Amino acid sequence: QHLFEYLNERLGFPQSIEGRENQKCFNSLLRSIYPEVMIDLADLIYAQHERLAVHLSFDQININLKKDFDENSDSLEKLNQKMAQLFNQLAITIAESPILKQDPKIIRLLSESYSYYLYQTKNFPWEDLSQPKLSNFQQPVLDVATGLAGFSRIYSWPENFPQLVLSDSEPFIVSGLSHYLGLTGKKNVVLVEADFPTKPPQGMKFGFIIANKFLHHLRRPDRVNFLKWSRCVLEPHGVLEILDTDLEHHIIERSNQPEFKKKLTVGYLKTLVEIESDYTDTLKCDVQDVGFRIIHFDCRDYCDETDAFSQNPGEIISLKFKGLEIVAEKSV
């Protein structure tokens, strides 16, 4: 309620026949709204790279709508289409406006809604995170560029584990994780604002560093700088764990095919970064060259048939990419 009251002072519909019809339709959506809508809106504005396609749950919406509308399925279907269009237009308007997207109050209201929802439902964006295999329980663990995975990291981090240091630079992520951390009361998890490689955490040492699906976002010189920094801040025999893929390289490459591109979630391509075609090969070399000793390396080809990146559910996309795991120790 507070969010839409705040937006009502900054956005509106034109004073025209179409504008008034859209206003009426949008008001119907607000009256039939469900808690997850705030999550959907936040994902579209701040986290599309991680959440991908977002679809309103009209099964829930229509339960309330049918109190006001007749049982004519055609009229309901048309109304649903219009509401989906208006909802997506609202998200696009905020996302493409630097003033609105960076508005501290909008960030706070959406991130706190996100945090409350995950705290109550435990329906985390990423649930398959494995715990690091620690050999030293006295030294802190750093999770690099945490993202939405931080919510499940906080929830699942055992009390007998060493201090976990989450790091991110995105205001929405930082605000949401900070709020969620306060709700959980976890004492062995902290959050720091950090940007890699330009603004890493200062004055801290770690026994273990996790870089999960992050390094492909950096150009090779920046990756090398990150690896050098990691080695400097690791304690003797400290470990760097890297999990990554070159999936984005293949999606960008395949997007040159019109049939493939039109299936992708609207706006998703804009969130991707160019990755060198030999990324998985050079990364292993760079880890060794900066002085790490690789104690585990696995790189394999994957084939996936999925609609996870599709705008429309059920539209299957075939993907081939490489995934790699590197566990490297700081040599003394």
Tens place of pLDDT for every residue, the chain, 332 residues? 788 889 888 888 888 998 888 888 888 887 777 778 888 899 889 987 666 556 677 777 777 666 655 555 557 778 888 888 888 899 989 999 999 999 999 999 999 999 999 999 888 877 667 888 888 889 999 999 999 999 999 999 999 999 999 999 999 999 999 999 999 999 999 999 999 988 999 999 999 999 999 999 999 999 999 999 999 999 999 999 999 999 989 899 999 999 999 988 877 888 888 888 889 899 999 999 999 999 999 999 999 898 888 888 788 889 999 999 999 999 87
CATH (residue range 141-330): 3.40.50.150
Indicate the helix (H) or strand (E) that contains 9.
none
Domain boundaries, given as residue ranges, for the chain: 2-102, 141-330
The pTM of the full predicted model, rounded to 2 decimals, is 0.88
